């Protein structure tokens, strides 16, 4: 069968895999190929055990793989054949040199731009899918047009807004798709071509267009606003703990104002995930670069409150458990940065684990999906840690449970049974406020939620 278009995606990660699977699923008329420099990842995408866990992903990949979705390590060949290339490589925080710890590390992205330039023999549309600093498209254009081979490239920005754990739903029914382009006739033509791809399943009114710089910046700002809501509610959770106010009641009252809205106001142990912190720091770095120090300080506060929230959680544990955790056994319920994913990048559970081990506690970690990643994240302190998939077995013999991830299963466990097998006095620190606190208290636990008065038997 002849396909109408050849679409290539460079980068087979949490974004590249699911987004391209969705395009292939919704558009059988296109051939979609995903390439990656990591052969293990490609092999996993071609196996029955996909490299990432995302509800609904397996079904889609199995339906379209080999039909119009292909995973391959052949980057050069893929580039040659493609009409449209999505670039979805990682853009982590730089760990070295100028801007270390703040700026985006653009080495993977730049290498891709050069690969595209070297391998291309015909006109292509290049789509920035990775999250990038504003003005990156300009650098992309300069790299791509720096040889005199006459090949024309159109660069578009099309940031991804999916959240892990709900990625397939988000892709199938997005709040909006944003496409930024140059305002030249070629730029607008390329933009319309990308609009047509999404219009196969996304209502036109939800496909919005803008200039390319607005699009790049909107992605950073979207994540900054989302993270800011979490830091706002978390900052107030500390005040609730001092004043006997209840953060859930405050969030409900505030969120029912339709101008504020009720979503993303769950107080927690802090936000994690590969992007919030990195994208805010990137925004902060850009602001400082342009001399906007007050603006930079404002956004940096969001990350500072997040660090404060994690440290506060540890200090609350320490204070509640008679100011020493040395030799105590603590069970972490969950290690993923949020429910319904195995991803642990920047998970609050990582820093909490490290701090508890610093306090000389012993850890038992349980999680339905993230234990392999947990083992890798904590390899240097593995002597202090047991990884046990069954939560009942994990909690047995422990002094305390600390809820790190809001997996539904934790709310439905038999806590009488768990209490019976723990050391006494037994403590629960609910870093996600997902458990039935008064019931736990009745069972005998000393209960410490986030932003609510503790329930203790002392």
> For residue 186, what is the enclosing H or E element?
helix 185-198
- Residue 130 binds to ligand UGA (criterion: CB under 6 A): no
Shortest CB 112 distance to ligand NAD, Å? 4
133: closest CA among 76, 164, 95, 94?
94
**Cα–Cα distance for residue pair 32/180, rounded to 1 Å:** 22
Can you spell out the DSSP letters for 405-425? S--HHHHTS-HHHHHHTS-SS
**Cα–Cα distance for residue pair 127/140, rounded to 1 Å:** 10
88 binds, among ligand UGA, ligand NAD, none (CB under 5 to 8 A by kind): ligand NAD
- Residue 164 binds to ligand NAD (criterion: CB under 6 A): yes
- Residue 164 binds to ligand UGA (criterion: CB under 6 A): yes
Return the SS3 of 254: helix
> For residue 321, what is the enclosing H or E element?
none
Looking at beta carbons only, is 91 or 433 nearer to ligand NAD?
91
Looking at beta carbons only, is 227 or 422 nearer to ligand UGA?
227
Shortest CB 159 distance to ligand NAD, Å? 7
Assess contact for 113 and 143: CB atoms under 8 A: yes
Beta strands in 251-383 (DSSP E): 329-333, 362-366
Shortest CB 435 distance to ligand NAD, Å? 27
- Residue 117 binds to ligand NAD (criterion: CB under 6 A): no
Contact code string over 60-89 relative to ligand NAD, x by CB under 6 A? ---------------x------------xx
Q: In sequence order, which ranges of 174-292 are alpha helices (DSSP H)?
A: 185-198, 212-243, 247-255, 276-289
Q: Please pick, from the candidates 15, 168, 251, 422, the single residue that binds ligand NAD as defined by CB under 6 A.
A: 15
The residue count of the chain comes to 458
Looking at beta carbons only, is 391 or 431 nearer to ligand UGA?
431
Assess contact for 83 and 8: CB atoms under 8 A: no
**Cα–Cα distance for residue pair 50/70, rounded to 1 Å:** 14
Taking every pair of C-alpha atoms in the chain, what is the biggest distance, in angstroms? 78
Residue 449 pairs in a beta bridge with 430
Q: Please pick, from the candidates 23, 32, 162, 378, the single residue that binds ligand NAD as defined by CB under 6 A.
A: 162
Q: Please pick, from the candidates 8, 275, 364, 401, the single residue that binds ligand UGA as defined by CB under 6 A.
A: 275
**Cα–Cα distance for residue pair 453/441, rounded to 1 Å:** 12
264 binds, among ligand UGA, ligand NAD, none (CB under 5 to 8 A by kind): ligand UGA
Looking at beta carbons only, is 115 or 309 nearer to ligand UGA?
309
Shortest CB 373 distance to ligand NAD, Å? 12
266 binds, among ligand UGA, ligand NAD, none (CB under 5 to 8 A by kind): ligand UGA
Candidate ranges 10-18, 169-177, 228-236, 405-413; the one touching ligand NAD (CB under 6 A): 10-18
Shortest CB 152 distance to ligand UGA, Å? 30
Structure tokens of 350? 């990582």
38 binds, among ligand UGA, ligand NAD, none (CB under 5 to 8 A by kind): ligand NAD
Shortest CB 39 distance to ligand NAD, Å? 10
The separation between CA 131 and the C-alpha centre of its own chain, rounded to angstroms, equals 12
Q: Is 275 assigned a catalytic role? A: yes
Number of residues that bind ligand UGA (CB under 6 A): 20
Shortest CB 164 distance to ligand UGA, Å? 4
Assess contact for 218 and 190: CB atoms under 8 A: no
Q: Please pick, from the candidates 25, 26, 69, 90, the single residue that binds ligand NAD as defined by CB under 6 A.
A: 90
CA distances (Å), 92 to each of 95, 277, 434, 452, in order? Answer: 9, 10, 31, 35
Q: Which residues are CB-neighbours of 217 under 8 A, at least 6 positions away?
A: 134
**Cα–Cα distance for residue pair 267/110, rounded to 1 Å:** 38
Q: Which residues are CB-neighbours of 228 under 8 A, at least 6 positions away?
A: 299, 302
Looking at beta carbons only, is 275 or 447 nearer to ligand UGA?
275
Binding site for ligand UGA (CB under 6 A): 131, 160-164, 223, 226, 230, 264-266, 268, 271-273, 275-276, 337-338
Binding site for ligand NAD (CB under 6 A): 10-16, 35-38, 41, 75, 88-91, 108, 111-112, 130-131, 160, 162, 164, 274-275
Q: Which residues are catalytic?
A: 275
């Amino acid at each position: 069968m002849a396909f109408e278009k050849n679409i290539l995606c460079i980068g087979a990660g949490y974004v590249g895999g699911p987004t391209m699977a969705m395009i292939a699923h919704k558009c059988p008329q296109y051939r979609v190929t995903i390439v990656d420099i990591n052969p293990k990842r490609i092999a996993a995408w071609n196996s029955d055990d996909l490299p990432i866990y995302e509800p609904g992903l397996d079904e889609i990949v199995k339906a379209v793989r080999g039909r119009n979705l292909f995973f391959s390590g052949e980057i050069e060949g893929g580039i040659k054949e493609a009409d449209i290339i999505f670039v979805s490589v990682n853009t982590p925080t730089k760990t070295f040199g100028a801007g270390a710890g703040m700026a985006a590390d653009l080495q993977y992205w730049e290498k891709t731009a050069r690969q595209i330039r070297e391998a291309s023999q015909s006109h292509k549309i290049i789509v920035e899918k990775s999250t990038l600093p504003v003005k990156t498209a300009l650098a992309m254009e300069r790299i791509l047009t720096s040889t005199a081979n006459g090949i024309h490239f159109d660069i578009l920005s099309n940031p991804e807004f999916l959240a892990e754990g709900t990625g397939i739903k988000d892709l199938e029914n997005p709040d909006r798709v944003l496409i930024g382009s140059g305002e030249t006739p070629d730029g607008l033509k390329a933009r319309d071509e990308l609009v047509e791809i999404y219009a196969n399943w996304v209502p036109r009114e939800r496909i919005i267009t803008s200039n390319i710089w607005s699009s790049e910046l909107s992605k950073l700002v979207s994540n900054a606003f989302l993270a800011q809501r979490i830091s706002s509610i978390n900052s107030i959770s500390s005040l609730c703990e001092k004043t006997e106010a209840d953060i859930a009641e405050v969030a409900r009252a505030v969120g029912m104002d339709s101008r504020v809205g009720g979503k993303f106001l769950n107080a927690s142990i802090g936000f994690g995930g590969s992007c919030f912190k990195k994208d805010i720091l990137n925004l902060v770095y850009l602001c400082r670069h342009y001399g906007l120090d007050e603006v930079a300080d404002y956004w940096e506060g969001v990350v500072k409150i997040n660090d404060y929230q994690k440290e506060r959680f540890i200090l609350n544990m320490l204070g509640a458990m008679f100011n020493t955790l040395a030799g105590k056994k603590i069970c972490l319920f969950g290690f993923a940065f949020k429910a319904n994913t195995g991803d642990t990048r920047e998970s609050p559970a990582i820093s909490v684990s490290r701090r508890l081990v610093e306090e000389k506690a012993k850890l038992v970690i349980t999680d339905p999906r993230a234990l392999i990643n947990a083992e890798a994240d904590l390899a240097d302190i593995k002597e202090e840690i047991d990884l046990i998939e069954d939560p009942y077995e994990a909690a047995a013999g422990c002094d305390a449970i600390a809820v790190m991830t809001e997996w539904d299963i934790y709310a439905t466990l038999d806590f009488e049974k768990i209490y019976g097998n723990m050391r006494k006095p037994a403590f629960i620190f609910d870093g996600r406020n997902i458990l039935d606190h008064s019931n736990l208290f009745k069972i005998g636990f000393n209960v410490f939620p986030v932003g609510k008065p503790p329930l203790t038997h002392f």
